Amino acid sequence: MSRVLDQKPAKEDEALDSALRPKIWADYIGQEKIKENIRIILTAAKQRGQSPDHLLFYGNSGLGKTTLAQLVAMEMGKEIKISSGPAIERAGDLAAILTNLNDGDVLFLDEIHRISNTVEEYLYPAMEDYKLNLILGKGPMARTMELKLPKFTLIGATTRPALLSAPLRNRFGAIFQLDFYKPEDIEKIIERSARILNIQIEPDAVKAVAERSRFTPRVANRLLKRARDFAEVQSDGKITKEISAKALESLDIDKMGLELGDRKILLALIEKFDGGPVGLQTLSAAAMEEEDTILDIYEPYLMQMGFIERTPRGRIASKMAYEHLGIKIKNSQSQLI
Ligand code: ADE
């Protein structure tokens, strides 16, 4: 997968990313409605002297689910422990995590849709009654042991809410969908990050980087850092419009924010399947990208931009996609799109 869109930051970017993460609500830009709703939930919980209900955040990667969870813990004055669905392989792993929490702590489970069925069964009583029923031993000698857990708040995060079982989904007190950010919010995020990292960037360059950030803060911050590299190596360190254009061009990110992977998918759809409709599996084989990568990384943005449409019969490339790639629409295709 491309470095620019990489879901998770590479090691050398991790420290920078954590420096850029808002640590107080006032610094968290965008997602106003969600912030407001969460603040009401937290204020009410505080007034009752209870821990807040379990929360589920869903939305594309890089939109700030982890950051929001950290702000929830901070607001409640409690610790946050972070793990993920695939990391918890056995009931024992879950027990180790849950028994290490204190009252009111937040447990953040990323990619919660990838939790195993067995672990999920253990999670239900933990969420509902703060209890864990462990089975010790095997066969006729097996014994159950009930562990009392602290009153924690589970915050689940997923890019694929539809893959959560209904019983798990129903155990969350509130579910929030994080949307793509507005362009002006992405600009504010770039300006804030530039201030924190001591980067000089011209207003025109802020706009240029924002336009190609896929409405996603993580991408915006990454592009800002790559533009800084360019500015430092090829100029005096200041990111001008020209420098940002050069940086983005060399990263193969076009004016609409599409990168090589996006264009590969659109090209496969148009050239190999006459613009579709085509099923995900077939498209994935033709574009040589994993289905999950198409679903989680490329397609949400391509659909948001109106380049791809999903129909019951498969994916279709839109007229805009043809125009953007400079490909003429065949007559046989024109009545489809
Ligand atoms: N960095 C990443 N996400 C952010 C957000 N929503 N607000 C401010 N800075 C951010």
Per-chain mean pLDDT for the chain: 93
pLDDT of residue 254 exceeding 90, the answer is yes
CATH code of the domain occupying 22-177: 3.40.50.300
pLDDT of residue 27 exceeding 50, the answer is yes
Mean pLDDT (whole number) for 34-53: 97
Burial (CB count within 10 angstroms: exposed 0-12, middle 13-18, buried 19+), residue 93: middle
Mean pLDDT (whole number) for 308-318: 94
Mean pLDDT (whole number) for 73-86: 96
- Express each pLDDT in 255-296 by its tens digit: 999 999 999 999 999 999 999 899 999 999 999 999 999 999
Q: What is the pLDDT of residue 271?
A: 94
Indicate whether residue 67 lines ligand 1 (CB < 6 A): yes
Answer yes or no: 218 catalytic: yes
| Element holding 144 (H helix, E strand) | strand 143-148
Which ranges in 145-240 belong to alpha helices (H)? Answer: 166-170, 183-196, 203-211, 217-234
Atom of ligand 1 nearest to the CA of 21: 1
Domain 260-325: state its class. Answer: mainly alpha
Answer yes or no: 228 catalytic: no
- Quick check: 53 and 152 in contact, CB under 8 A? no
Indicate whether residue 28 lines ligand 1 (CB < 6 A): yes
**Bridge partner list, 144:** 135
Q: State the distance between the two ends of the chain, measured CA to CA, in whole angstroms.
A: 29
What is the gyration radius of the CA atoms in the chain, in angstroms?
23
313 is in an annotated binding site: no
Mean pLDDT (whole number) for 105-124: 96
pTM attached to this predicted model? 0.90
Conformation bin of residue 215: beta by default, left when phi > 0, alpha when psi is -120 to 50: left
Indicate whether residue 127 lines ligand 1 (CB < 6 A): no
Answer yes or no: 159 catalytic: yes
Atom of ligand 1 nearest to the CA of 64: 3
Q: What is the pLDDT of residue 1?
A: 45
- Express each pLDDT in 178-191 by its tens digit: 999 999 999 999 99
- Active-site annotation holder among 214, 218, 226, 263: 218
315 is in an annotated binding site: yes
Ligand 1 centre and the CA of 55: distance in Å?
20
Q: How confident is the model at residue 3 (pLDDT cuts 50, 70, 90)?
A: very low
Measured distance CA(226)–CA(230) in Å, rounded: 7
Cα 147 to chain center, whole Å? Answer: 33
> Domain ranges in the chain?
22-177, 183-251, 260-325
pLDDT of residue 230 exceeding 60, the answer is yes
Q: Which fold would CATH assign to domain 183-251? A: Helicase, Ruva Protein; domain 3 (1.10.8)
Phi, psi of 83 (to 5 degrees): -145, -170
Answer yes or no: 282 catalytic: no
